[in-house]
Amino acid sequence: AGRLGQQGAAEASQATLASVSPVFAVVMFSTKNIFMIEKKKTELYQELDLQARDLRFQHLMSITSRNNRIIMRMEFLKAVITPEFLLILDYRNLNLEHWLCNELAAQLAGEGQLVTYSLPFEFRAIEAILQYWISKLQGRLNTLQPQILETLEALVDPKLLSVDRSKLHVLLQNGKSLSELETDLKVFKETILEILDEEELIEELCLTKWTDPRVFEESASGIDHAEEMELLLENYYRQAEDLANEARELRVLIDDSESIIFINLDSHRNVMMRLNLQLTMGTFSLSLFGLIGVAFGMNLESSLEEDPRIFWLVTGIMFLGSGLIWRRLLSFLGRHLEPPLPPHVPALLKKTQPAASRMEMKSDLKAETLGLSRSTLPNN
């Protein structure tokens, strides 16, 4: 009785786990038909002859082969490829309906721009998914590039005395998006390069080669599908490399523009500091000779205040002395702020320099003809 009770509890727990197992919304593509179904995870991996861990999709981007099945994940895009059909899992709420119904179906049927249409079905499926992902990355770059260039053009304008903070905020957001794009491109390239470095992985991706005897014989006779698969992956690796170079050029442009912005701000800051220094010098000059006016303004009697010409004489001396001192201080400031002149080169050295260079070239040529080592050439 105890044994029967334990067996019934185990069956009940298994039934409970099966009832709560995740359900995949699946689109199945064959060469001619499209089916949209819902399958439990347990049923799906049993029908595909896979393990439960194969459908976990724990990596953000991966291309693996299990039991003559190709399991692909491009972030949100999850697919399983067999020699007869292609399964797209969890396509809902991902805005994939347009691509699935209008583009992917036509490509797999041979109406698209796929190069691998004459090859087995798995080649078309892999190329269609890689083409979709490259087009997504290209679209993100095409969206970011004009925004970044427009923002940089507005920020680098030398006429601006200050930087628009709204433009800086836009540049910061675009810089973050560009960093995410660079990361996605790097992961995509590493995923493909991991397969290209292993011959066995490339062979495992050629599913029809191991299921169709005719294709296996053609491969043995020289028409190898593994080479076609390698060329296909290299093509999309090269496209990803080109996109990564364009993104890298944008990153360098942003860094250079930041340097230009800082230089412009430093230049305007130096102008303001110099103006402030000049005004300080002028104030110092006026206050220095203003002591004469202070002395005459005290309530002390002398014989000078009775002469009507003394006021104009003292005022003239004050302004003239202030101007002369200010001029002297400005010349001192300009002399210390101007860059130093290059050292003077005597005419004799200028005339003898070409002759010396010719002698050096002759000695180098002579040393090369004698077969001297590289270590002795600098000494000559």
Which residue positions in the chain have pLDDT lower than 70? 1-21, 93-94, 112, 157-164, 210, 212-223, 293, 295-306, 333-380
Do 66 and 192 contact (CB within 8 A), yes or no? no
> Domain for residue 357, yes or no?
no
pLDDT given for residue 348 in this prediction: 40
Number of domains in the chain: 1
- Assigned domain for 100 exists: yes
pLDDT attached to residue 379: 43
DSSP state of 55: G
Flag whether 241 is in a domain: yes
Give the pLDDT confidence of 333-378 residue by residue, as tens digits.
666 555 555 555 444 434 444 444 444 544 553 444 444 334 433 4
Domain membership of residue 361 (yes or no) is no
Phi first, then psi: give them for residue 63, nearest 5 degrees: -135, 110
Question: Is residue 368 included in any domain, yes or no?
Answer: no
Strands 77-81 and 61-66: what pairing? unpaired
CA 206 to chain CA mean position, Å? 34
% of the chain residues with pLDDT over 70: 71
**CATH assignment of the domain containing 149:** 1.20.58.340
Asked if residue 296 is part of any domain, the answer here is no
User: Which structural domain range is residue 75 located in?
Assistant: 23-264
Predicted pLDDT at 345: 45
User: What's the pLDDT at 302?
Assistant: 66
Q: What is the pLDDT of residues 220-238, one digit of tens each?
A: 545 577 888 889 999 999 9
Measured CA to CA, the distance from residue 70 to residue 84 in angstroms comes to: 12
Q: Whole-angstrom Cα distance, residue 194 to residue 114?
A: 24
Q: Is 304 strand, coil or helix?
A: helix
Residue written as tokens 């991966």? 62
257 within a domain of the structure (yes/no):
yes
| Residue 350, pLDDT score | 42
The side-by-side arrangement of strands in the sheet containing 69-74 is 34-40, 23-29, 86-89, 77-81, 69-74, 61-66
Give the three-class secondary structure for 110.
coil
Residue 362 in domain:
no
